Amino acid sequence: MQKQKEIVTTKAPAAIGPYSQAVEIGDLVFVSGQIPFDPVSGKLEHADIKGQARQSLENVKAIVEAAGLTLANVVKVNVSLTDMGAFADVNAIYAEYFTGEIKPARAVVQVAALPRQVLIEIEAIAHR
């Protein structure tokens, strides 16, 4: 059985429940869903979807980097939105972060609600 390793960074918000920011096992790093809270202030700094998408992606990026990887190592992304009408705005911000020749596989779903009434949550899987 492979040993799990917890990935933790102060450059992303601390977990707000009984879970890890990320867990590494073998060559995979599983990043928990990141909501758009600023890691310094601990608060939601952006009311609009573009700002929230950018902050969520910055949080994912910080955790991936804490594992010694980059966003180029991300192979799968799940995005949850409270309003699918925001898809185009989120997609534009997302494209700024994933610029490699091969983009991660991705799913985008609309959900009824997210923690702390945010508009977006993003989770990822990265590979070494």
Residues 19-78: tens digit of each pLDDT: 999 999 999 999 999 999 999 999 999 999 999 999 999 999 999 999 999 999 999 999
pLDDT of residue 1: 81
Count of residues making up the chain: 128
Residues 103-118: tens digit of each pLDDT: 999 999 999 999 999 9
pLDDT of residue 79: 98
Is residue 16's pLDDT more than 90? no
Place of tokens 């309003």: 83
Q: How far apart are CA 52 and CA 121, in angstroms?
A: 9
Residues 41-50: tens digit of each pLDDT: 999 999 999 9
Is residue 82's pLDDT more than 90? yes
Residue 112, classified by CB atoms within 10 Å of its CB into exposed (0-12), middle (13-18) or buried (19+), is exposed
